[in-house]
Structure formats: structure tokens, C-alpha cells
Amino acid sequence: MSPSAHLSPTSTTPGREPSTRARSSISSRRHCLRYSRLSPWRGGRGDDFNRVLKVDRERKTVTVEAGIRMHALNLAAKDHGLTMPSLGSIDDQSIAGAIATSTHGSSMSHGLLSDYVQSLRIMLSNGQVVKCSAMQSQDLFRAALVSLGALGIIVEIEYQMAEAGDIEWVQTMLPMEDVLARWDRDLWTSDEFVRVWWLPYTKRAIVWKASKTTKPHRKPAHNFYGGSVGYHTYHALLWISQYVPRFLPWVEWFVFGMQSGFKSGYTTSGVEEQRTGLLMNCLYSQYVNEWSIPLSKGPEALTRLTKWIHQDEQGSAIPFSPAGVYVHSPIEVRVANTVGRTPRPFMDTTFSDTPSLYLNATLYRPYGQDPPCHERYYEAFEHLMKEMGGRPHWAKNFHSVNHAFLSKAYGEDLSSYLRVRNEVDPEGMFLGAWHRRTILPPKSEMPIFALEEKEIVRRERSSGGTDWIGEQARWWDGGEGAGVYKNGSESGESFDLMAGAEAEASMLLESLRDDADEGTDIRVRETSEMGVTGASVFGKM
């Protein structure tokens, strides 16, 4: 479901449109609710809203309830000989959460996961459900493809699938200069799927490529370090570096030398299902700060960032001191291509006229500790990304992004997104503190919405993660109605503003639990094997 679809004010019988009394109940209850909402990039918990509704084998489409996890979607599609055409590094997000935050894979043949949405149904703030597609209510569709959780609750998605099959992947350690030399030749076009892990201290890179194959399944060559031994060793070394940061260059050399070879040219490969072969192990709790820039600017950006990491402030032309800053490895480098695609999401992180490069500056949190380089590294990284004309990935931990910056980066697309958002949710029922500080204009230009949520406290969980607690705007900044944004309509009218939208029987979602003891998310791939020290999750980048 949509990223902010965490709250279910009431429920009705599926298949029946809510009565006037039911709508009134929704309106009255939402004014007094105080609740915990997931942050916009996490997606929401829709595990009970996960049915496959229809499979059209001829058109290769699957229609699902929006809370289904992509892993479950692919497993269900496998029974019909289908699979998702592209995946990111993990598949445990809900499909609606993935498209709402511009999730992507790494391929010159594919763009965002939302590219494959054929249609969707979204419940608006008045409790009615509308259908939109490229041919029906196109503006709503373009806003909902990367919704940021601010439009309503996505309840149903029709998704374009591909024929299920296998891929053969090959992973090779190469010097940085070899990767840069091949950048404009065949680096990104030799295979359907390509990604790179940049190792700045050793000035090498791991290049991973994959294409479809009919070869029999084959596991990669056994590496005793590639499983639990490597997983726990790296974690312990990262923890030591918390106290001795200058230890990190040696950690990079040792860990990735043991995993992918101390000499350039070391190669490992395997053959497996596409639905599992595209996935990677994310290892530990981490910060991920990812931006897209034009593909042609990649060599300059990576070269300058590498110089800065090597303490060369002048050569990097990044005006922040790197003195005493030591970072984690690797920097993930991925590509997406949406040139010529229509209709485009308003808040698309790719570029319409050139392939897009995604740079991800990952920082691990060993045993839950924040790395000491966090603030200055991301300050320098985001400065460089902005200079390169970059756009932040909505699902990641960016810092210096606000409406003024996004207005320059997105232009009229941001204005169009906000126009549609305000039409379908005029009282701000789906707006929170993240939206206010990131995408909305300042209060002087767009005052508080009647139902806009204000963050009041963040509460750390003993099991990992953070609860963000908020309350709605009528109860702050002067009381009910004070300084509240109005655009001439109430939420009960928002459905009527979407000309041509199809009214559907309302299906409000059941309340979702946020289990306090669920623990820190450790993502283990389906194909990981168990060893004496646990799951072997370090076997493939």
C-alpha cells in the first residue's frame, strides 16, 4: 500500500460504497486521532492485504492487492510462468511501497519498477476508490506512480510481468581505470543487467553482469569466507572502526579481497532464477543516501568523490574538509533508462533525455551504532550530487532537500504533482512532517492543512528502528482552523475533482499492527544457505 497507508480510520463491507453516515464517521474520527505513522520511505505494513486478484496469461499481467510483498508476488507469478521484469536489491517491500518511492533495478533495458504499472486503484481521503491509468485520469496516474504516500491509499495494482526464466551472472574485480575506460563503450550495454560496487580506498570496482540463459542452475564456487564467517568478520571490523576510523581502508582491502579476490580479474559466476538472481544481500542496519545523475557525468562524479575520500579536498573541488573522515565500502553504482517512456511520473527520479546513474553512499551501523563520518560524508556527497544536477532517491536517507531545491530539480512537474495532490486530498489527510519539510512550500506560501500531521516525538525501539509519533494540525499552531490551508473544497468533494475517474466500491483497510518486538530488519535472500553460525548472507555482493 502507499507509504503513508498505515492508518485505517474505519471499515466497511467490501463491495459496498460507504454511506453518508460512514463518511461522516471517517471525518469525525480522523480529527481526534493521535497515532504512530511509518516514515514515508518505509512503505507500510500490508501483509494482510496481499491477494493475487487476477492473472492474465495472454497479456502477461497480474492484478494484486497493493500490500503484497514483491517476493510473494513473484512466487505466485512463477506458477503461471511469469516474473517481474526488473528488481532492486531486495524484494521484501510491498509492491505499492516500492513504486511509491521510485524503486529501480540496474539495467539500460529497464527504468523504475513503476514503469510496469498498467493501472491502479487508489482510495482518496473521502473514502472512495478511483481507477487511473495512462488512458484514464492520466494526471492522477502520473502522480500516483511515485506518490510519496501523499495522495491516498493505493489498494490495487495491475502489473506488467515478463516470462519467467533464469539468468547467468558473472562478477569480476577490476581496476577503476578499466571501468572508467569502458564507461562509454560496453560497460552498461553488454548485458541486460549491470551494476558496479566502487571500492574507493583500493581504487578497484566489482562489476556484476547478468543476462537470460537456458543453462542449468549452477551455484558459485565455494568460498569459506563468503558466508557466515565473512558476515560476522566484516561486522566486527566495522565495529572496531567506530573507535579507530583510519582502520577502514585496511578493512576494505581485506574484506573485499577475501570475498572477490586480492588481484584484479578474479571472477565468480552462477546460474539461478531471475527472481532471486537479481537480489543482493544488504548485510546490516545502514544509512543509504542515493542520488541519480545523468549517466555521462558518472566518471567525473566518481573520480571527484574518490579524491575527496583520499583526503584531496582541492583535487575533488568539494568544499568540505575530508580531514579525519573515513567511510564504509562500497559505493553502489547502478543505472536506469527511461528515455522515451510515457507517461512519466511527476516525481520521477530518472531523466527524460538521458540514461540515469544512481550513486549510493552506504554507511553501515555496526551493532546499531551510527558511524562517526555520517554527517560530513553526506554533506560532501550531497553537495557533489547537486552540482551534478542530481535528484535524491525518495526511499533513502538524504539530508539537504527542501521545496526550493526540488522546484529547481523538477520544475513544473513538482507544481503538477502538488496540484493533483491538493485536489484529491484538500484537507491534507495524507500529509505528514516529512512532506512538509521536503516537498511542500513554506507555510507562508502554503499554510497548514486541516488534517496535516505534525511530528511531536521520535521514539527509539529497543529492538531497532524508530517510531515517529505525530498529531494532526487542527490541534496545534493556534487551534482548530487557525492558519489552515484551504483551496475551496473539502475532502468529501475531492473525488468530484478527478474528471473521468471511475468510482469503485470502497474497500477500507483493516487496522495494521506495528509489532514492537519484530526486531531489526535483516534481509536474507531466499537462496542463502544455513551454516553453523547462521545464514550465509555474504556469498554474493
Range with the lowest mean pLDDT among 390-404, 419-433, 489-503?
489-503
CB of 135 within 8 A of CB of 504?
no
CATH architecture classification, 28-164: 2-Layer Sandwich (3.30)
Domain boundaries of the chain, sorted by first residue: 28-164, 166-403
CB of 460 within 8 A of CB of 160?
no
Summarised one tens digit per residue, pLDDT across range 233-245 is: 999 999 999 999 9
For residues 525 and 534, give the distance between their C-alpha atoms in angstroms, rounded to a whole number.
Answer: 13
The residue-averaged pLDDT of 369-394 equals 97
Alpha helices in 460-505 (DSSP H): 494-497
CA 453, 457, 462, 465 torsion-angle sign: positive
For residues 33 and 257, give the distance between their C-alpha atoms in angstroms, rounded to a whole number.
Answer: 54
Residues listed for the chain:
541
Supply φ then ψ for residue 493, to 5 degrees.
-100, -10
Summarised one tens digit per residue, pLDDT across range 7-52 is: 222 233 333 333 332 233 223 223 222 222 333 333 345 567 899 9
- State the pLDDT at residue 225: 87
Pick the CATH number of 166-403 from 3.40.50.920, 3.30.470.10, 3.40.462.10, 3.50.80.10: 3.40.462.10
Summarised one tens digit per residue, pLDDT across range 78-91 is: 999 999 999 999 99
Confidence of residue 222 (pLDDT cuts 50, 70, 90): confident
Number of Cα atoms under 13 Å in the Cβ half of residue 317 = 9
Range with the lowest mean pLDDT among 140-144, 206-210, 387-391, 476-480?
476-480
Strands 117-123 and 82-83: unpaired
User: Is the pLDDT confidence value at 65 over 80?
Assistant: yes
> What percentage of residues in the chain have a pLDDT greater than 90?
71
For residues 96 and 32, give the distance between their C-alpha atoms in angstroms, rounded to a whole number.
Answer: 27
Confidence of residue 539 (pLDDT cuts 50, 70, 90): low
Instruction: With H, G, I as helix, E, B as strand and everything else as coil, classify residue 28.
Output: helix
Return mean pLDDT, the chain.
Answer: 83
- Indicate the pTM of the whole model: 0.83
User: Is the pLDDT confidence value at 520 over 50?
Assistant: no
Nearest to 387 by CA among 371, 408, 370: 408
Confidence of residue 466 (pLDDT cuts 50, 70, 90): confident
Which grid cell sits at 21? 453516515
Q: How many CB atoms lie within 10 A of CB 80?
A: 15
